[in-house]
A = this chain, B = another copy of it.
Amino acid sequence: MKMSVLWTARALCLGAVALSLVAELLVRLLRRLRPAGTLNEVLFFPSEVVCVQHLFSSLPACPCICPLRHGPETSLSRLLRHVMSASSSLDLCIFAFSNANLCRAVLAVHAKGVTVRVLTDKDYAAITGSQIGVLRKAGICARCDSSSVHMHHKFALVDGRLLLTGSLNWTLTGVQSNMENVLVTEEPDLVRPFVEEFHRLWERCGRGPLVK
């Protein structure tokens, strides 16, 4: 009887060890296949017009007394938060960049020491309202292609791991009026090709002609 109890205990132990080993294997496999907390999100525009002043402030309460609504999270505020989450690098490849709030976000990222690189379209960079000159004056490196075709991308890479891409040009009309989308993902199979394309275009563009 004693022998039987002993062997039952051994069998149970063996089962438990086998279970824990497979559980460990399962956890490791899942981590490899899908990094913990992989972000996948889609933002649609037009975005409701609300005050975004608090995003640029370190104060606990919003310091702004403007007449806009305060508080609600919108597609624009989500986009600004993603841009400002950059801690080491921010690579922008944007056809049309004239939105003042997005420009302010990029300047804030640059001011905290993050390496910012901007690729844009040479024709659009030259029009009134473009923020490319503002970025360059702040010391941000901005390049554009010298060929006759359009650099029509609208994507951003945050720390080389988060991709923001879609139909949205970084303009006031794009954000507040048009029907647009921005897809936000950390999915490596989607991020990697954009990182490589940015590198390819950056090298190819060199220091193209830009408006001050």
Interface residues, chain A, with chain B CB atoms under 8 Å away = 3-4, 7-8, 10-12, 14-15, 17-19, 22-23, 25-26, 29-30, 33-34, 40-42, 44, 46, 95, 145, 149-155, 165-168, 173-174, 177-181, 183, 185, 187, 189-190, 193-194, 197, 201
**Given contacts A11-B11, A29-B26, A40-B190, is CB(A165)–CB(B183) below 8 Å?**
yes
A105 → chain B, closest Cβ, in Å? 20
Q: Is the CB of B193 within 8 A of A44?
A: yes
Chain B residues closer than 8 Å to A15, beta-carbon distance: 11, 14-15, 17-18
**Given contacts A10-B11, A167-B167, is CB(A190)–CB(B185) below 8 Å?**
yes
Q: Is the CB of B150 within 8 A of A178?
A: yes
Q: Is the CB of A181 within 8 A of B197?
A: yes
Q: Is the CB of B149 within 8 A of A174?
A: no
Q: Is the CB of A190 within 8 A of B26?
A: no
Measured CA separation A161–B189 after assembly (Å): 18
A129 → chain B, closest Cβ, in Å? 17
Among B22, B34, B185, B197, the residue within 8 A (CB) of A23 is B22
Measured CA separation A41–B191 after assembly (Å): 10
Chain B residues closer than 8 Å to A154, beta-carbon distance: 167
**Given contacts A11-B14, A34-B34, A167-B154, is CB(A194)–CB(B181) below 8 Å?**
yes
Q: Is the CB of A152 within 8 A of B165?
A: no
Chain B residues closer than 8 Å to A201, beta-carbon distance: 179
- Nearest chain B residue, comparing its CB with the CB of A25: B26
- Nearest chain B residue, comparing its CB with the CB of A153: B167
Measured CA separation A8–B153 after assembly (Å): 65
Chain B residues closer than 8 Å to A185, beta-carbon distance: 187, 190
Measured CA separation A197–B167 after assembly (Å): 14
